[in-house]
Amino acid sequence: MSLDLPGVDPSSVDLDVERNVLTVRAERPGLNGDHELIAAERPRGIFSRQLILGDNLDTERVQASYDSGVLTLRIPVAEKAKPRRIEISQSGAEPSGRESQPGNGRQAINA
């Protein structure tokens, strides 16, 4: 995820995660002197943004980097949410019509 933060000092950026809500706070300083603006594309002062993260993300391993006015967040998928193979155990003899293949735990079906 990327957030455009031009004109923001990286030391003024504050990130925090509580449960599954990521909050980004930052400050863009006001202009010095007696400048009168006709139009302003970038708001000044303190601002924040809250993002609700899915339960399948690992909020303990969020990584953030800031380069050329862009804050990049990397939020990995939680291990518990990744697809995984479930092995099926068998008790007793193998069912007829199937033969085991060595090495991969899979079975071939004679059809």
All domains of the chain in start order, with CATH: 2-80 (2.60.40.790)
Q: How many angstroms separate the CA atoms of 62 and 73, rounded? A: 7
Q: State the Cα angle at 89 between 88 and 90, rounded to 5°.
A: 125
Q: How many angstroms separate the CA atoms of 100 and 109, rounded? A: 9
21 - beta bridge partners? Answer: 18, 52
What is the pLDDT tens value at each position of the chain, 111 positions in all? 898 888 888 899 999 999 889 999 998 887 776 777 777 777 778 889 999 988 889 888 999 999 998 999 999 988 888 888 888 898 875 555 554 455 556 666 766
Q: Which tokens belong to 76? A: 């990995």
- pTM, two decimals, is 0.62
